[in-house]
Every structure is written in structure tokens, then in C-alpha cells.
Amino acid sequence: MHTPKLACFVLLAALIGITAPAEARSPNQVLGTWRMVTAQIDSDGKNVPAYGDKPNGLLVFTEDMHFIEVLTDANIPKFASNVRGQGTTEENRAAMAGSIGFFGTYTVDKDGVFSGNRVEASTFPNWIGQVRTRKELRLVVEGDRMTENFQRPDGTRIRIVWQRVKRQ
């Protein structure tokens, strides 16, 4: 008597099983918006602030695997002119030395761990087209904190601590 109902149930369960993914995808650990907490540079064995005593920056990783990062020293003096292209040599030098902005694409591994990026554009033109793997750039997420360890080609190491920005 209950055989047709049982058969329908088994068929429905089989169809659900066929359409369900074989394995759930691991969450992307870096996805979201991050605010810079600290930034240190280790040059010649000296550990000094990379972006002054008031580092300011955001790092955003999007779901479609793009990123944008802007890092600044909040103490960079304002330009005398309100026209960005009319800074003095000294003003431009301070702005370039105390900030950087760049964007591109990134990858994560099967466990959702950051595995590298490719810079598409940058305020420092030498970075355009650069591909960074875990050898040069490591991002380690622990809860809502992320530590970035970056090694420049000259061997200088930079360590940035990020805090995940919570949705309001």
C-alpha cells in the first residue's frame, strides 16, 4: 500500500542528492572590508612605522575575486594648492612616500585561504602587472584580525595588522 509513496520519497531524495554539490566550498577567509590597525617596516633590522604613527588604510576583497588597497600616513601635510596636479616637488615626494593605492584580482585555495594576487593598477607604476604568491605575500586570518606579511624584492619586510570592518 505504501509502496508508491515510498517510491516517490526515494526518487525525490535521489534527485535532491544529484543536484546538491558534491562538496561544500570553503568560505573565502579574506572576503570583506579590512581597516589597517598597524603597519611596521623592518629595514636593515630596524622596526619602524611604515605609514607614520597614524597609519590609515582600507583593504577590500570582493566576492568576484577583486581587491583594492589604499594605505596612507594620516600625517602627510596638505598641499598648498587645492589642485592635486599642482603640488610642489616636496609635497609630491611626501605624498608618494607616505601612501599607495592599488587594485587587481586575487585567489584563494580550496580551503578559502589567500593564495596570491595580481596588481592591475597602482599609484606606484612598477607594481602594475606584478603577481604575488604566498612567497612574497602572506595573509593570515584569525577571527576578525588579519596579519599581512609582505616582502619587497630588496628583502625589506612589511607587517600590517588589519581588523575586519563589521556591517552596521
Using CA atoms, how far residue 18 sits from 5, 13, 35, 39, in Å, is 20, 9, 42, 49
pTM for the predicted model, two decimal places:
0.80
What pLDDT is recorded for position 118? Answer: 98
What pLDDT is recorded for position 2? Answer: 53
What pLDDT is recorded for position 56? Answer: 95
Q: Cell 509513496 sits at which residue?
A: 5
What pLDDT is recorded for position 48? Answer: 86
What pLDDT is recorded for position 16? Answer: 43
| Residue ranges, the chain, pLDDT below 70 | 1-26, 43-45, 168
Overall fold of domain 28-164: Lipocalin (2.40.128)
What pLDDT is recorded for position 158? Answer: 92
Nearby residues of 149 by Cβ (< 8 Å), 6 or more positions away: 137, 138, 140, 157, 158, 159
Taking residue 137's Cβ as centre, other Cβ atoms within 10 Å add up to 18
What pLDDT is recorded for position 49? Answer: 86
The percent of residues above 70 in pLDDT, for the chain, comes to 82
The residue among 54, 39, 12, 7 whose CA lies nearest residue 160 is 39
N residues, the chain: 168
What pLDDT is recorded for position 44? Answer: 65
